[in-house]
């Protein structure tokens, strides 16, 4: 039977092979429509939900890890706060800076040094502290310089030494002759409120 002879008004008269082809074609169209209009959207939503599930699972695992270590984090935070408090206590407040300057000068005198220059400069404000640079120039023997610097490190407050310059006195090459040490000694104090720019 020729395809041109098939009458769509009388499908019941078609041969079996034509009916099978028509049914298969109809099922394919329905399946394609079902997939395109219904299933593909559901698959996309499923993929999005699976991705969201993966992200939530990772977030849950991270939070679970943090929750499991919460007590350790609390202990670590307490240690950090204690350490920070101890460091802040090493920064003098305004009333203690004068006594600290006396401590610096007495440390040099106790080491056997003679001060030629002891010149505090203007404070330099930083984030939460202020630097007080002190330009010093002392005369003495080399070992006295070492005693002076280690004495500064032993002070109960934070004191740092910068720009150290040691020069020999011109005394004819005598090894026991005094030398001159020039440096900037910086001490720090805590600012209650951050300095205004």
Residue 90 per-residue DSSP state: T
Question: Range with the lowest mean pLDDT among 114-118, 159-163, 166-170?
Answer: 166-170
Distance of alpha carbon 150 from alpha carbon 108, whole angstroms: 10
138 and 59 co-located in one domain: no
99 and 154 co-located in one domain: yes
103 and 182 co-located in one domain: yes
Domain boundaries, position 133: 94-190
pLDDT-based confidence at 195, cuts 50/70/90?
very low
Q: Residue 44 domain-assigned?
A: yes
Number of independent structural domains in the chain = 2
Tokens of 100: 């600290």
Distance of alpha carbon 139 from alpha carbon 182, whole angstroms: 9
Q: Give the count of alpha carbons within 13 A of 171, CB side only.
A: 10
29 and 101 co-located in one domain: no
Distance of alpha carbon 99 from alpha carbon 88, whole angstroms: 17
Region 3-12 average pLDDT: 68
Contact 164, 185 (CB under 8 A): no
Contact 144, 178 (CB under 8 A): no
63 and 101 co-located in one domain: no
| Percentage of residues in the chain having pLDDT higher than 70 | 83
Distance of alpha carbon 136 from alpha carbon 101, whole angstroms: 12
Region 87-114 average pLDDT: 75
Q: How many CB atoms lie within 10 A of CB 38?
A: 10
Q: Residue 82 domain-assigned?
A: no
Domain boundary among 34, 68, 102: 68
User: What's the pLDDT score for residue 171?
Assistant: 59
């Amino acid at each position: 039977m020729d395809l041109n002879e098939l009458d769509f008004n009388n499908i019941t008269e078609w041969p079996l092979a034509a009916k099978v082809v028509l049914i298969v074609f109809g099922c394919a169209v329905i399946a394609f429509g079902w997939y395109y209009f219904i299933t593909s959207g559901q698959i996309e939503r499923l993929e999005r939900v699976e991705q969201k599930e993966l992200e939530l699972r990772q977030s849950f695992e991270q939070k679970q890890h943090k929750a499991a270590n919460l007590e350790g984090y609390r202990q670590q935070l307490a240690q950090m706060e204690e350490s920070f408090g101890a460091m802040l206590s090493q920064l003098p407040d305004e009333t203690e800076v004068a006594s600290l300057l006396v401590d610096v000068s007495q440390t040099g005198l106790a080491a056997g040094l003679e001060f030629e220059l002891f010149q505090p400069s203007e404070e330099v404000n930083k984030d939460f502290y202020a630097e007080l640079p002190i330009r010093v120039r002392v005369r003495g023997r080399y070992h006295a310089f070492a005693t002076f610097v280690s004495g500064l490190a032993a002070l109960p407050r934070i004191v740092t030494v910068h720009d150290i310059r040691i020069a020999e006195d011109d005394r004819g090459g005598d090894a026991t002759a005094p030398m001159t040490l020039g440096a900037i000694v910086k001490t720090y104090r805590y600012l209650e409120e951050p300095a205004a720019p």
